[in-house]
Amino acid sequence: MRTEPAAPAAAILRFRPLNFGRWAVWGLTAALFVAAPFAFDSKFSLALMSQAGIMIIFALSYNMLLGHSGMLSFGHAVYSGLGAYFAIHAMNMIGRGELFFPVSLLPLVGGAAGLLFGFVFGWLTTRRAGTTFAMITLGIGEMVFAASLMFPGFFGGEAGISGNRTVGAPFLGIDGLDFSRDIQVYYLIAAWCLASMVAMFALTATPLGRIANAVRDNPERAEFIGYNTQRVRWLMLMLSAFFAGIAGGLMAINLESVGSEALSAIRSGGVLLAAFIGGVAFFFGPIIGAIVFVFFAVALSEYTKAWQLYLGLFFVILVMFAPGGLASLILMNLRVIKFGKFRRLLDPYVGVILSGLALTVGIVLLIEFTWHRTLDIALGATVTVAGFAFDTSQPQPWVLAVVIVLAAGAAFEFMRRRFKAEWDAIQIEIETWLRDNPQDKP
C-alpha cells in the first residue's frame, strides 16, 4: 500500500523553469533570416539563400518520415512536385482574374495539394512497412512522373507550366510589394521557412509525434499499447506531405515555372541525401543538410560539372563513417568540448584535416582531368581547376595528381588512425564517467 503523498512525486519531474533557451534559439534564427541579405547581398547569394530556405522546409518534412517515424521514402518529390503544379496553376488563375487569393499564401495551395495526395497515396504506401514501403514509394514516384508526361494539359509536358508571381493584389495592399524583386521573394520564403520550422518542431511534441517515435523504435510494441501503426504512419505521411507541398508552392513562386523534374526520382533522391547528410536523428539535422545540399547543387555546380559525383562520394563517406550525419559529428565534438578534452584532439585534427585536404585535392584533380578528357575535349586539352591551368594531353599533370593521391592517401591513413586512437580513448573515458555518475538528477 502506498502511503507517500502524490505531491513530492509530481514535483520531482514537473519542475521545469520557463524554457528561455528555446525562445532564444527561435529568436536568433528569425534574426539571422532577417539580417542575412544585408550580409550577403549579391544576386547569387540571394538565390542561394532562397533555395536553401525552400530546401530546409522540404528536408524537414522528409525527416518527419525518416527520422521521426522510421519510414524511408524514395518518392517524396511527388508531394512537393504536385504541390508546385497546383500552386502555379492557382497563380495563373489569379493572373487571369479567376481567383482572388494572395500570392503570398499560394504555398497553402501547395500544402493542400500535398495533403490530399498524402491522403490518397499514403493509404496505399503505408499498407506495408520497412524496405517494402521504400520500394513502393519508388514505384509510386515513378508512376506519378510517368503519368505527368501523359497529361500535358495539366503538367505541360517536358517544358512544364510557367507563371508570373507579380499578379493579383500586392502584399497587404502595399504598392510595390508584388514580389517583382528577388529580395521580396527571399523574405516570403524566410517567413514560410520559419513558420514551417516552428510548426514541425511543435509537432514532435504532440501525442502523434511521440507515438510516431515509438512506432519507429518498435512497431510491434506500439501495437501492443493500443496503436494501429499503419494509421500512425499514414497520418505522419499526410502531415509530411502537407509541408512538402508548401515547399513545392514556394518553388513555384521562386522560379515562376514548374517542370517534370519537380516530380522526378532525382528530386526525391536529393531530399533524401539532404536529410541524411544533415543527420536524421536530430530535429535540426536536416536544416544543416539542406544548406550543404544547396551548396553542392547551386554553388559547387558553378565551378565543376562533376558536382554530382562529389555529392555522391560525400554522401557515401558519411554513410560509412558517420551515419548520424553532420549533426552527430557536431554534437559529439561539443560533448568532448564540454568534458574539457578537446585539447587532445587539436593536433590529430590538424593532421587529419591537412592530409584529408591534400587527398581531396589529388582526387579532384584526377576527376576533373578525366572528366575534361571525356566530355569537354572539344574545348582543348587544357582544364582550369581553381585558377590553375593543366594541360591534360601531357603526362605531367596526371603524374602530379597520382603522386598527390598516393602520398596524401598514405599520410591521411596514418593521421586517421592516430586520430581514431585518441578519439576512442576519449570516448571511453567519457562513457565510463557517465556510467559512474548517472545524470538523471531530478
Partner 1 sequence: MPLDFFVIQLLNGLSYGLLLFMLAAGLTLIFSMMGVLNFAHTSFYMLGAYAAYQISEWFGFWPALLLAPVAVGLAGAAVERYGLRRVHKWGHVPELLFTFGLSYIIVELVQVVWGRAPVPYQVPVQLEGPVGWLQQHFGLTFPAYRAFAMAVAIFMLAAIWWLLARTRTGLVIQAALDHPQQVEALGHNVPRVFMLVFGGGCALAGLAGVIGGNLFVTEPGMAAAVGAIVFVIIVIGGMGSLAGAFVASLLLGLVDAFGKTSNWSIADGLDAVGLAVGPEIFGYPVWKLTLAQVTPVLPYLLLVLVLIFRPRGLLGTRAD
Partner 2 sequence: MTPALQLAQLTKRFGRTEIIRGVSLAVAPGERHALIGPNGAGKSTLFNLISGRHAPSSGTIALDGADITGRKPFEINRLGLSRSFQITNLFHRLTAFENLRCALLWSLGYRYSFWHRLNGLREVERRAEEILLRIGLQRRHKTPAGLLTYAEQRALEIGVTIAGGARVILLDEPTSGMSRSETAAAVALIKELTQGRTLLVVEHDMSVVFGLADRISVLVYGEIIASGTPAEIRANAQVKEAYLGRHAQAAV
- What is the Cα–Cα distance from 116 to 122, expressed in whole angstroms? 9
Q: Does 438 bind partner 2 (CB under 8 A)?
A: yes
Q: Which residues contact 29 (CB under 8 A, 6 or more apart)?
A: 194, 197
Which residue of 52, 57, 65, 140 would you call a contact of partner 1, by CB under 8 A?
140
The minimum distance between CB 79 and partner 1, in angstroms, equals 17
CA-wise closest residue to 297 among 269, 324, 325, 323: 269
- What is the Cα–Cα distance from 22 to 35, expressed in whole angstroms? 20
Q: Does 371 bind partner 1 (CB under 8 A)?
A: yes
Q: Which does 100 bind (CB under 5 to 8 A by kind): partner 1, partner 2, none?
A: none
The minimum distance between CB 211 and partner 2, in angstroms, equals 6
Q: Which does 169 bind (CB under 5 to 8 A by kind): partner 2, partner 1, none?
A: none
Handedness of CA 354, 356, 362, 367 (dihedral sign): negative
Closer to partner 2 at the Cβ: 153 or 207? Answer: 207
Q: Does 151 bind partner 1 (CB under 8 A)?
A: yes
The minimum distance between CB 44 and partner 1, in angstroms, equals 25
Which residue of 252, 272, 326, 365 would you call a contact of partner 1, by CB under 8 A?
272
- What is the Cα–Cα distance from 388 to 380, expressed in whole angstroms? 15
Q: Does 313 bind partner 1 (CB under 8 A)?
A: yes
User: In the stretch 229-248, what mask flags binding to partner 2 with x, by CB under 8 A?
Assistant: x-xx--x---x---------
Q: Which does 323 bind (CB under 5 to 8 A by kind): partner 1, partner 2, none?
A: partner 1
Q: Which does 153 bind (CB under 5 to 8 A by kind): partner 1, partner 2, none?
A: partner 1
Q: Which does 254 bind (CB under 5 to 8 A by kind): partner 1, partner 2, none?
A: none
Which residue of 30, 138, 300, 381 would you call a contact of partner 1, by CB under 8 A?
138
What residues numbered 4-33 form the site for partner 1, per CB under 8 A? none
The minimum distance between CB 374 and partner 1, in angstroms, equals 5
Which residue of 227, 284, 315, 423 would you call a contact of partner 2, by CB under 8 A?
227
Q: Does 120 bind partner 1 (CB under 8 A)?
A: no
Q: Does 21 bind partner 2 (CB under 8 A)?
A: no
- Structural contact between residues 407 and 363, judged by C-beta atoms closer than 8 angstroms: no
The minimum distance between CB 438 and partner 2, in angstroms, equals 7
Q: Does 432 bind partner 2 (CB under 8 A)?
A: no
Q: Does 378 bind partner 1 (CB under 8 A)?
A: no
What residues numbered 274-293 form the site for partner 1, per CB under 8 A? 276
Q: Does 61 bind partner 2 (CB under 8 A)?
A: no
Handedness of CA 355, 281, 197, 234 (dihedral sign): positive
Other C-beta atoms lying within 10 Å of the C-beta of residue 134: 16
- What is the Cα–Cα distance from 137 to 172, expressed in whole angstroms? 40
Q: Which does 99 bind (CB under 5 to 8 A by kind): partner 1, partner 2, none?
A: none
Which residues contribute to the site for partner 2 (CB under 8 A)?
A: 2, 6, 9-10, 12-14, 16, 202-203, 205-211, 213-214, 216-218, 220-229, 231-232, 235, 239, 438-440, 442
